[in-house]
Structure 1
Amino acid sequence: MIIGNGLIASLFKDYKKNDCVFFASGVSNSLETDEKQFLREENLILETINMFPDLIFVYFSTCSIYDSTKKESAYVLHKLKMEQLIKNNSRRWLILRVSNAVGNGGNPHLLMNYLVRSVKNSETINVHTKATRNLIDTADIKAICLNLIENHTENHILNIAYLSNYSIIEIVEIMEQYFDKKIELNLIKSGSGYDIEISEIENYFFKNHLDNKEKYLKKILDNYYSDKLCNNIN
């Protein structure tokens, strides 16, 4: 059972077992402040738990809760509230806090979509020199999630993120190599980042030889942005 139709929800459309609900229909805009949108997600969560009380309720939350610059934002406070709501109302649950997911489609304003679109259009990119982001391929989000379910991981909160963060400058330098194109930058001395603890899942990356940061990002570019700088970013 899948609730939602966005980037994360699409990962599980071919999941055939009837043992869990993948809830990926929540508020996804980290700048959201509309209380109606928050209430819509809250009501849908409770309705879904009541409809499927015996299934594992898999909820996709956010690693943004670790960002000191966003900890008082309406979005982060809402996500924490939803996590507690699930823990209080579901017998079987799995809460996955996801970092910056990169996949086929998604919001055009997501970091990688913005950067590649800027390269495609030969636009100057504003780079916050102190900013870091944790990029993770949606294919790995799916694989890790299914591994957890297969291993009967329940009533647990886990972070789903890559082994380490990328600075924005690091991302741009790798993109310059990948697209063989000089990118014009406007350097801004600002930005921030935060560490994400992933000790319970980090072996996945080592086991699958995904521990080289540069190769990992180039794999993401291969998967979603190769050749014609596909329509993924328009």
Structure 2
Amino acid sequence: MEIVGKGFLARHLRAIAHRHADVVALAAGVSWAADTSDTAFGRETALVRDTAVRCRETGRTLLFFSTSSAAVYGADRPGRESDPAVPHTPYGDHKLALERLLRESGTAHLVLRLSHVVGPGQPPHQLLPSLTRLVRAGGPVRVQRGATRDLIGVRDAVTLIDALLSRGERGGTVNLASGHAVPVGDIVDHLERRIGVAARREYIAGGAAHLVSVERLRALLPGQVAALGFDAGYHRRVIDSFLAERQPA
């Protein structure tokens, strides 16, 4: 596997790179919904287009990472890959445009719509590192009353990516998530218990309660998904692992 990118996900993909010589994993580009500049979007669009051309010319598969967030699916229904996607933000619109670019490019590809991936080496602006930092400081932690997030451990995500590529999955779109919409307040609760700090909170209105469907993922990889234990307590185990591996603040 050729890995384009040097960030969080790219580093973890190195563990399976030797197993997929015919794949180019595009683990670079806009990975943060707050980065909505035309410059950032244009840079990623050019990167996807150029990489798709290169993959088509060399007969390789392009592995593209999109998003399974409410930015793509909205918050009024479970997000299923087969349902029409209606972007609710510039970030969601941008990711869906890149998916269309790939489908129309004639390049062999696989689109994985990621939920909130958690693990060692995460950028500090992402959800769990940010909440951990705020809880350790005693707050204030701002919590949107209606917000939920689907957490998946990065090593579990890589395990599933490896399995999808090994079974020859190509040409489609798959949600890569745990399938559990966890209220952000519950994530803060667990961080407080593990860190031993009761942080001051500020509850504010807003936030989307969004559920990612993993029906397709379970159908494709029933044994692997079952082994990872995606139950209602899965997010707590992901948080525990993150805290155990993270350097003390």
Question: Scaled by the length of structure 2, what TM-score is found?
Answer: 0.84
After TM superposition, the structure 1 stretch with the greater mean CA deviation from structure 2, 17-26 or 184-193, is 184-193
In the TM superposition, residue 68 of structure 1 has moved relative to its aligned partner by 5.1
Counterpart among 207, 210, 228 of residue 226 in structure 2: 207
Structure 2 counterpart of 1:45, one-letter code? V
Q: What per-residue deviation string (whole Å, max 9, x for no partner) do you get for residues 58-87 of structure 1?
A: 000011311359924221111111001111
Aligned to 1:133: 149
Counterpart among 157, 160, 167 of residue 151 in structure 1: 167
Structure 1 counterpart of 2:185, one-letter code? I
In the alignment, is the contact (CA less than 8 A) between 2:138 and 2:198 conserved in 1? no
After TM superposition, the structure 1 stretch with the greater mean CA deviation from structure 2, 67-76 or 130-139, is 67-76
After TM superposition, the structure 1 stretch with the greater mean CA deviation from structure 2, 160-169 or 173-182, is 173-182
Partner SS for 2:216:
coil
In the TM superposition, residue 138 of structure 1 has moved relative to its aligned partner by 1.0
Q: What per-residue deviation string (whole Å, max 9, x for no partner) do you get for residues 177-206 of structure 1?
A: 322332322222432221211102233575
Q: What per-residue deviation string (whole Å, max 9, x for no partner) do you get for residues 3-41 of structure 1?
A: 111111112123113110101112112123322221211
Between the aligned partners of 1:149 and 1:210, the Cα distance in structure 2 is 21
- Residue-pair matches, total: 230
Q: Please provide the CA RMSD for this pair.
A: 2.2
Between the aligned partners of 2:213 and 2:227, the Cα distance in structure 1 is 19
In the TM superposition, residue 145 of structure 1 has moved relative to its aligned partner by 0.9
In the alignment, is the contact (CA less than 8 A) between 2:63 and 2:110 conserved in 1? yes
Aligned to 1:56: 61
| Equivalence map 1:1-234=2 (5 Å) | 1-14=2-15, 15-16=17-18, 17-53=20-56, 54-64=59-69, 65-67=72-74, 71-202=87-218, 203=222, 207-214=226-233, 216-226=234-244, 230=247
Partner SS for 2:96:
helix
Aligned to 2:80: none
Between the aligned partners of 1:149 and 1:29, the Cα distance in structure 2 is 25
Partner SS for 1:208:
helix
The 3 A distance-change label for structure 1 pair 209 and 60 is: closer
Question: Scaled by the length of structure 1, what TM-score is found?
Answer: 0.89
Between the aligned partners of 1:84 and 1:204, the Cα distance in structure 2 is 31
Partner SS for 1:171:
helix
- Structure 1 unaligned runs (5+)? none
Structure 2 counterpart of 1:220, one-letter code? V
In the TM superposition, residue 222 of structure 1 has moved relative to its aligned partner by 3.1
Partner SS for 1:60:
strand
The 3 A distance-change label for structure 1 pair 179 and 204 is: farther
Between the aligned partners of 1:204 and 1:80, the Cα distance in structure 2 is 30
- Structure 2 unaligned runs (5+)? 77-85
Between the aligned partners of 1:167 and 1:108, the Cα distance in structure 2 is 21
Residue identity (%): 25
Structure 1 counterpart of 2:132, one-letter code? V
The 3 A distance-change label for structure 1 pair 204 and 102 is: farther
In the TM superposition, residue 218 of structure 1 has moved relative to its aligned partner by 3.1
Partner SS for 2:92:
helix
